[in-house]
Amino acid sequence: MIEAVIFDWGGTLSPWKTVDNLAGWRLLADVLHEGDEERAAALADALLAAEDARWAAARDEHRAFTIAQVLADAAAHHPADVPAAVHDAALAVHREFWLGQLPTDPDAGDVLRALRERGLRLGVLSSTSWPRDWHEDRFRTDGVLDLFDACVWSSDLEWTKPHPEAFRAAMDAVGVDDPGACVYVGDRPYDDISGAKGVGMRAILVPHSTIPVAQQVPVDVHPDAVLQRLTDLPDLIADW
């Protein structure tokens, strides 16, 4: 019997949206180098390159990273010697840019409540560089934070999906020992479906994301089901 449903975040609980990453970094760089467009543009390019390099390592080695590490990587070549208050203000602008881009699916609350009424434990496992409080603020604003038993963000871990330890961390967090009693719902065949199946979970694919080519890895693994709408999930797993 199913005891827990664990969700991916971006592309699953938050519908997929293609976002201009450089624009987000440029907002941060403009605060750090106010009035110096050339330095701001160079720093934004360096931040994007550092982020892409970290995601490439996550793809190839499954090592987690944080936004602080991205900032440090870029600063090694493009230092910004500014007061702590300016640094914090720049990060806040970047944060607001991203939180505004990725709201929670408006149907998520009703779906989560329906699953909780069945006695299922609910969790999140997301590969992300964001700190926990950014995600929790987004969920709190959208009225769903309290519907989860636990949320696991790779920014708090050593490993990202599809590494088995990331999935085991999510199982531990929701308090379920048997992977066969867990369903994972995600939008990425490599990170989500192969990762969940690799530890013995059932896996459901949400097939609506336009995953960048650089982040794609071919897999010969098939989901247990395909979910077209989040609202279909309770019925889909009713007899599992």
pTM of the model: 0.95
Per-residue pLDDT at 82: 86
- The pLDDT, as a whole number, for residue 51 is 97
Q: Which residue has the tokens 């990202």?
A: 160
CATH topology of domain 4-17+103-236: Rossmann fold (3.40.50)
Cis before 162? omega within 30: yes
Q: What is 104-123 written as a DSSP string?
A: PPTTHHHHHHHHHHTT-EEE
Q: How far is CA 159 from CA 119, 170, 177, 201, in A?
A: 29, 12, 19, 18
Q: At 183, phi and psi to the nearest 5?
A: -115, 130
Q: Terminal CA-to-CA distance of the chain, rounded, Å?
A: 6
pLDDT reported for residue 39: 94
Intervals of the chain under pLDDT 70: none
Would you state the structure tokens that stand for residue 109, as one six-digit string? 């609350």
Q: What is the pLDDT of residue 77?
A: 86
Domain ranges of the chain: 4-17+103-236, 21-101
Contact 50, 67 (CB under 8 A): no
